[in-house]
């Protein structure tokens, strides 16, 4: 029998979760937690506490949460590249950066056509080394998550940075692009528009030139907004929403929910077997073991 943490909407959800497991509360002293990334080489999780302008570190071995970076430029989303380097979306510097193995910082992108980005939010790296990221205005709208300034670009786009450093705006008509993730075969890109009312999740086919085609609405959010998303190896979409986490089939069908006492912002898979879902939910970091693992590189 499943615990009260899980709500089944489609019988397929039952094969993705485990009976008699519970959701662990790992930390509850944040202000608005975001952007988790699991670093397998160190068995730790990095996650952002944006209004407190810091990045925290959960040590999977000791169970302790400790400060990792103060004055973090109001960092939001993180990811790993194929070489195991951490990439970050920084609201205050309005850039996407990468920490090299020697500790130095490389700026991946901070301007487009001579104008500064708004406030990069979420980021992923594909197997070919390209960096894809969303650029809403949340980090320049108030001082709470960055600095209040006018947008130089005037739009909220999704970008792709090729390995040669060239930058292309691949989506230019979203209200507030937010979470993004690729299907296991890399042929479909899922993107959240959290500024649309109601917030929505879209899917796009990825063309041979990395252009996006065949836009389709998968689902509108019924509780709060869609925020960060991650995919499992079956192509199911795990999305942060107002009452926890939704699990959606690739076609947008709601399979089930992980019910939490706080709105969930972002999430990622981690652990030695990659079967533990870490969830940044408002003030708390939660984790739960699942019967699935992420898409390769996810």
Angle at 55 between CA 159 and CA 241, to 5 degrees: 60
Q: Which two tokens stand for residue 127?
A: 């197997």
Three-state DSSP class for residue 131: strand
Distance CA(144)–CA(52), nearest Å, equals 9
Three-state DSSP class for residue 188: strand
Tens digits of pLDDT across the chain (298 residues) = 577 899 999 999 999 999 889 999 999 999 999 999 999 999 999 999 999 999 999 999 999 999 999 999 999 999 999 999 999 999 999 999 999 999 999 999 999 999 999 999 999 999 999 999 999 999 999 999 999 999 999 999 999 999 999 999 999 999 999 999 999 999 999 999 999 999 999 999 999 899 999 999 999 999 999 999 999 999 999 999 999 999 999 999 999 999 999 999 999 999 999 999 999 999 999 999 999 999 876 6
């Amino acid at each position: 029998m499943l615990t009260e943490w899980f709500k089944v909407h489609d019988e397929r959800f039952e094969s993705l979760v485990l009976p008699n497991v519970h959701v662990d509360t790992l930390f509850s002293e944040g202000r608005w937690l975001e952007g988790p990334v699991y670093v397998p080489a160190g068995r730790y999780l990095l996650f952002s506490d944006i209004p407190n302008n810091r990045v925290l570190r959960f040590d999977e071995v000791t169970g302790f949460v400790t400060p990792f970076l103060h004055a973090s430029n109001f960092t939001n989303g993180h990811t790993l590249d194929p070489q195991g380097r951490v990439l970050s979306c920084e609201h205050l510097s309005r850039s996407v950066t990468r920490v090299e193995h020697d500790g130095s910082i490389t700026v991946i992108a901070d301007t487009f056509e001579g104008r500064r980005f708004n406030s990069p939010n979420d980021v992923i790296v594909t197997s070919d080394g390209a960096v894809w990221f969303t650029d809403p205005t949340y980090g320049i709208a108030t001082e709470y998550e960055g600095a209040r300034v006018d947008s130089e670009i005037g739009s909220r786009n999704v970008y792709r940075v090729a390995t040669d450093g060239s930058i292309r705006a691949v989506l230019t008509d979203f209200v507030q692009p937010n979470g993004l993730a690729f299907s296991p075969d890399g042929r479909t890109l899922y993107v959240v528009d959290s500024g649309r009312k109601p917030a929505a999740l879209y899917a796009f086919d990825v063309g041979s030139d990395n252009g996006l085609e065949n836009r389709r609405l998968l689902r509108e959010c019924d509780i709060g907004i869609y925020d960060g998303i991650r995919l499992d190896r079956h192509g199911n979409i795990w999305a942060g929403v107002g009452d926890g986490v939704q699990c959606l089939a690739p076609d947008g069908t709601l399979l089930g929910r992980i019910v939490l006492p706080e709105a969930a912002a972002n999430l990622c898979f981690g652990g030695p077997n990659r079967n533990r879902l870490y969830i940044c939910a408002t003030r708390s970091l939660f984790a739960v073991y699942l019967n699935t693992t992420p898409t390769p590189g996810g």
